[in-house]
A and B are shown apart, each in its own frame.
Chain A
Amino acid sequence: MAALPRRIIKETQRLMQEPVPGISAVPDDSNARYFHVIVTGPEDSPFEGGLFKLELFLPEDYPMSAPKVRFITKIYHPNIDRLGRICLDILKDKWSPALQIRTVLLSIQALLSAPNPDDPLANDVAELWKVNESEAIRNAKEWTRRYAMDN
C-alpha cells in the first residue's frame, strides 16, 4: 500500500490533539484509513444520552472522493437506514475536497439534532416522523435507550 498522504496524517493528528466536543475518532491499529468513531447524542434531541458507534473509511482517492461513513449502533432516524447508511448531501454530490473528517462528523451530529423527513432514506421512519412526530420521537428515545446506552 502506498504511503499515507500528508493530508490524512495531518487530519488524524489534529483530531487527536483538538478533538471535537462530543465526537471521538480513532484510527484503527492496522489500517490508518479506517476510523472508529463515537458520536454522543446531541442535547435536546431524542438521541440525548446515547453513544453512537460509527465507522469511517477514507477511500483511495480521498479527499477527492468523500469518506464512507456508516452507523454501527442501531438508530431510529429518518435519514439513516437499517444498514446504518446515512443520507447526507456532503457525503454525496455536495462533497468538496476542502471538507474534512471533522466537518463530516459535525454534520452527522447536526443531522441527529435536525432530522429531515422530507429527504428520507428510511421510508417507514420518515413517514411516521411526518404524520405523528411525537410517536416517532418516542420510538427514537426508546431505541436510544435500548441500543445506545448499555455500554
Chain B
Amino acid sequence: MEEIMTTSQGCESDMDCSDNECYEDYYNINDDSDIEQVDPRKVDPEYFEFKCLYEEEVDRLLNETVETLSNILHIPPSLAKVLLHGHQWNIEEVTRKYHDNPSNTLITSKIEPVTTHSNIIMGRYMCCPVCVMPHPVDKFHSLTCGHLFCRDCWTMHFEVQINQGISTGIACMARECDVLAPEDFVLRHLTRPNMREKYQQFSFQDHVKSHPELRFCPGPNCSIVVHGREIKAKRAICTQCKTTFCFKCGCDYHAPTDCQVIKKWLTKCADDSETANYISAHTKDCPKCHICIEKNGGCNHMQCYNCKHDFCWMCLGDWKSHGSEYYECSRYRENPNIAHESVHAQAREALKKYLHYYERWENHSKSLKLEEQTLGKLRSRINQKVMSGLGTWIDWQYLFTAANLLAKCRYTLQYTYPYAYYMDAGPRKELFEYQQAQLEAEIENLSWKIERAETTDRGDLENQMDIAEKRRTTLLKDFLDV
C-alpha cells in the first residue's frame, strides 16, 4: 500500500481501481447498462466486503503497513512492527500518539525502557550474569534497555520461549525488565532453521490475531485469512474450504442475533439441552388420529399418512389456520400474571419459555439436516428424469437453487429464536415475532413445494422463493444491527 488508508471516498475508489483483484465489485460490471445502479450496502442487510488471502498475501499486507509507519516515523521496520502489534495495527492512532509524545509511546509499547541500564565495561572479557561464563565483550548484546547478556544465552532464552509458543511477547532476560525483543533481534540470534521457522509462524499468528481486520478461517486445516473491510458481525465465506462464519467472532454465522447473545444462548443450550432433549421427544402423535409420527423431512407442514390430516409439527394446530392467514406458532405467549405467582411457578415458566425457543431452534436445525437429505434425493430423482429424457440437467437446476435458498432462509430463521428469547417484551418484540412468523410460514410453504417439486409448477415455486427471501431480507433489514 503506497498510502495510508483513509475513509475518504476518493482514496477508496483510487485503491479499487489500482488493484483490480481487490474486493468484489461485480455491481460495477454493468456500468454502461441503462439499469439504475443499486448500492448493495443499502439493499442487502448482509452485504459484506471481504477477501480471502493466502499467507503470502497477508505477509505483504502486514509488511506494507509496517513500511508505511516506518517511513512516517523514521524508525526501523522491526520497531514499527512492535508498535503496530501493540496498537491493533491502527496506523493513525500510532502516528498520532507518537507525534504527541514519542518517548512515552515507545515506553508504553515496551520498545524502550523507563530507565536505561548503564554498563561499566573494563577489559576485554566480561561475565554473563545468566551463564556466569566469561566471554569477550563483543559477544554481548542488549536491547534498548542496555541489559547485556551473551549471545548464547540470548539464543537459549529465545528457544525456550518459542518452544512455549511465545513469539511477539518475548521480553528482556533482566529481572523486572519488560522491554520486548523485536523480530530482527530475535532472528539474529536464532541459528537453527526449524527455530526460525517456528518463530516466524508464531509471530505471524500473533499479528493476524492482533489485526482487527484479519481473521483466520475457522475451517479445519484451512490456512486462509479473511480480510474484512469493516469489523462487523457479518457473514464471511472462505473461498478455499467454503466454511461460513461470523467475521467478528469466528463462530457459526448467527444473524440476526449478535455475538454476545449467541454465545450466551449456546452456553445455555449446552447446559440445559439434556433436560430439553428429555422433555421434547423425537416423535409426536397426530392430533387427529393419534398415530405415532416420526418426522422424515424438513417441512413443518405435516400430513398424516394415516388420516391425511394437515397439521403444524410445531404447535400441532390445524395447518389451515397457518397457510394463508396469520401464522403465529413461532410466538411465545407469556403468562401475564407471572409476577404474582410463586417462585416455583416462575421457575417453571422460565423453563417453559426457554423450552419454547429451544425446541424451535433445535427443530429448525434438524429440519436443515433433513432438507440436506431431501436435496440428495432430489438429485437422484433429477438424474432419473434426465436419463429418461424428461428435460435436460440444466432444466432442473432451478430446483437446486430453490433448495439452497431454502437452507439459507431456514438458517436465518433458526437464529431468530435466540434473538427473540433475549428480547424484552414490548412492541419491538411483537414486530419481530410477527416478521418471524411471516418468514416461518413462507419457509414452510417453500419446503412443502420443494419436497413435491415434480408436481409443483416452476413459476409457482420461483414465486415462493422470491417471497421467502424477501421476508428474510425484511427481517434482517429491520433487526440485523451490527
Chain A positions within 8 Å of B, measured between CB atoms, are 5-7, 10, 61, 63-65, 94, 96-99, 103
Contacts and interface: CB of A to CB of B under 8 A. Distances in A.
Given A96-B174, A98-B175, A7 B156 contact: no
A98 B130 contact: yes
A65 B173 contact: no
Contact of B177 (A5, A6, A63, A96): A96
Given A61-B156, A64-B157, A64-B160, A96 B133 contact: no
B325 interface: no
Interface in B195-236: none
Name the prevailing secondary structure of the B interface residues: loop
Nearest to B153: A97
B121 interface: no
Contacts of B147: 98
A103 B176 CA distance: 13
A61 B157 CA distance: 9
A90 to B, nearest CB: 8
A80 to B, nearest CB: 23
Q: Interface residue tally of chain B, by bracket?
A: 10 to 19
Given A7-B130, A7-B131, A10-B132, A96 B156 contact: no
Contacts of B175: 96, 98-99, 103
Contact of A65 (B130, B149, B160, B177): B160
A142 to B, nearest CB: 36
Given A5-B131, A6-B133, A7-B131, A61 B173 contact: no
A6 B173 contact: no
Interface string B163-178: 0000000000111110
Nearest to A95: B175
Nearest to A61: B160
B63 to A, nearest CB: 30
A5 B174 CA distance: 19
A10 to B, nearest CB: 5
Nearest to B147: A98
B132 A97 contact: no
Nearest to A64: B160
